[in-house]
Chain A
Amino acid sequence: MIDVEDVLSIAASWHGAGEQVAIATVTETWGSSPRPAGSRMAVTTSGKMAGSVSGGCIEGAVAETAQQVMASGVPKLLSFGVTNERAWEVGLACGGKVQVFVEPLI
């Protein structure tokens, strides 16, 4: 995926500077979702962030999981979905779902 930011290179440069880095990757999408599979976000323990895995709705939760993954060293597969009822409630018609893999950069 070509993106505005070269997230992997940014992650590698943070890693090279001695930071602990986690990488989150969209691995699958269903229905209408804002970012395609292969979209990435990088997070450091110091709180730096680059890239995105959604239109902004799940980045907070992913960043939180990234901190746990960096602490434990164990990757995690996350699923996010908007149920139809919830979609109606918040005014989103999409009802999209995404799966995000969060792993440490080693």
Chain B
Amino acid sequence: MKNATITALNHAMATRQPVAFAKNLSDGTEFLLPDPHAPEALNEAGRLALAADKSTTHVLGSESWFIEARNPAPRLVLVGAVHIAQALAPLASMSGFEVILIDPRQGFGNQERFPGANLVNDWPDEALNQLKPDMRTAVVTLTHDPKLDDPALDRALHSNAFYIGALGSRKTHAARLERLSALGHQAESLQRIRGPVGLDIGSVTTPEIALSIIAEIVAVRRGGSLGLRVK
């Protein structure tokens, strides 16, 4: 592997560019796909690997190529720089998520409470309009405050986010669904919101609740059986 390839891979990761790394397993030739200098069959294999988000060996003609899909990291958008976020943010980033923390209240969302975090001090609806959650984005509201949570959930329901969760008891959640339905969201759409958020692992402490949330997000993302909720 060339040192310059590592630099290029890191640059792609930092700029959220999807790339496929291709390695000829006989002579060691390598490409970062798409590359106009690479054979078209290789570029096509790179596109397919990225679409499937899967790395594996392909036989093209008489040669074996390892093709590694390097899609941008999945994102977790947390609304509310609260206590649970302090446990959830590091857990999520260790699990490979790029974490974005939204809280317009600077007393909560500041670097002292979240050193090094990607903090956005805008209102959640404005912040989510900017971030445009896609199929690789999870959104979790944590504030318990309808002024902050509701606009975030409203925006999330209008997006392709693969996971939407809202912290709060069953009672809180029922009231929340009524408010969102008054905003015009249909029952089917509201079922996308996981509330109470997280897997039922009997969490008591803050880190345990954070663990249940990240576990459910992983289960949904990877198609694990625990990701399915039976109503």
Chain A residues closer than 8 Å to B9, beta-carbon distance: 8
Q: Which residue of A lies closest to B95 (CB)?
A: A2
Chain B residues closer than 8 Å to A2, beta-carbon distance: 73, 96
Evaluate contact between B7 and A12: CB separation under 8 angstroms.
yes
Complex CA–CA separation, A22 to B3 (angstroms): 11
Complex CA–CA separation, A25 to B67 (angstroms): 11
Looking at the assembled complex, report how far the CB atom of A101 sits from the nearest CB atom of chain B, in whole angstroms: 6
Chain A residues closer than 8 Å to B73, beta-carbon distance: 2
Is B55 located at the chain interface by the 8 A CB criterion?
Answer: yes
Q: Mark B52-87, 1 if CB is under 8 A from A, else 0.
A: 001111000000001011100100000000000000
Complex CA–CA separation, A104 to B30 (angstroms): 13
Chain B residues closer than 8 Å to A1, beta-carbon distance: 55, 68, 70
Is A34 located at the chain interface by the 8 A CB criterion?
Answer: no
Evaluate contact between B3 and A105: CB separation under 8 angstroms.
yes
Complex CA–CA separation, A4 to B94 (angstroms): 6
Q: At the interface, is chain A mostly helix, strand, loop or mixed? A: mixed
Evaluate contact between B25 and A77: CB separation under 8 angstroms.
yes
Is A95 located at the chain interface by the 8 A CB criterion?
Answer: no
Is B2 located at the chain interface by the 8 A CB criterion?
Answer: yes
Evaluate contact between B28 and A27: CB separation under 8 angstroms.
no
Chain B residues closer than 8 Å to A8, beta-carbon distance: 1, 6, 9-10
Of A23, A36, A38, A106, chain B has the most CB atoms within 10 Å of the CB of: A38
Evaluate contact between B25 and A27: CB separation under 8 angstroms.
yes
Is B23 located at the chain interface by the 8 A CB criterion?
Answer: yes
The number of chain A residues touching the other chain, given as a range, is: 20 to 34
Is A97 located at the chain interface by the 8 A CB criterion?
Answer: no
Evaluate contact between B94 and A106: CB separation under 8 angstroms.
no
Is A28 located at the chain interface by the 8 A CB criterion?
Answer: yes
Evaluate contact between B3 and A106: CB separation under 8 angstroms.
yes
Looking at the assembled complex, report how far the CB atom of A1 sits from the nearest CB atom of chain B, in whole angstroms: 7
Evaluate contact between B6 and A11: CB separation under 8 angstroms.
yes
Chain B residues closer than 8 Å to A104, beta-carbon distance: 1
Evaluate contact between B28 and A75: CB separation under 8 angstroms.
yes
- Tell which of A3, A9, A27, A105 touches B66, judged by Cβ atoms closer than 8 Å: A27
Chain A residues closer than 8 Å to B57, beta-carbon distance: 27-28, 37, 99
Evaluate contact between A37 and B10: CB separation under 8 angstroms.
no
Q: Mark B86-123, 1 if CB is under 8 A from A, else 0.
A: 00000000101000000000000000000000000000
Evaluate contact between B55 and A36: CB separation under 8 angstroms.
yes
Chain A residues closer than 8 Å to B66, beta-carbon distance: 25, 27-28, 37, 101
Q: Mark B21-32, 1 if CB is under 8 A from A, else 0.
A: 001010010000
Evaluate contact between A106 and B6: CB separation under 8 angstroms.
no
A1-B68, A99-B57 are contacts. A12–B25 as well, Cβ < 8 Å? no
Chain B residues closer than 8 Å to A15, beta-carbon distance: 3
Chain A residues closer than 8 Å to B70, beta-carbon distance: 1
Complex CA–CA separation, A88 to B27 (angstroms): 37
Chain A residues proximal to chain B, CB less than 8 Å: 1-4, 8-9, 11-12, 15-16, 23, 25, 27-28, 36-38, 75, 77, 99, 101, 103-106
Q: What are the 6 closest A-B residue pairs judged by CB atoms, nearest first?
A: A2-B96, A27-B66, A38-B55, A37-B55, A28-B57, A12-B6
26 contacts between A and B (CB under 8 A): A1-B55, A1-B68, A1-B70, A4-B94, A8-B6, A8-B10, A9-B6, A9-B10, A16-B3, A25-B68, A27-B23, A27-B25, A37-B54, A37-B55, A37-B66, A37-B68, A38-B68, A38-B69, A75-B28, A101-B23, A103-B23, A103-B28, A104-B1, A105-B2, A105-B6, A106-B1
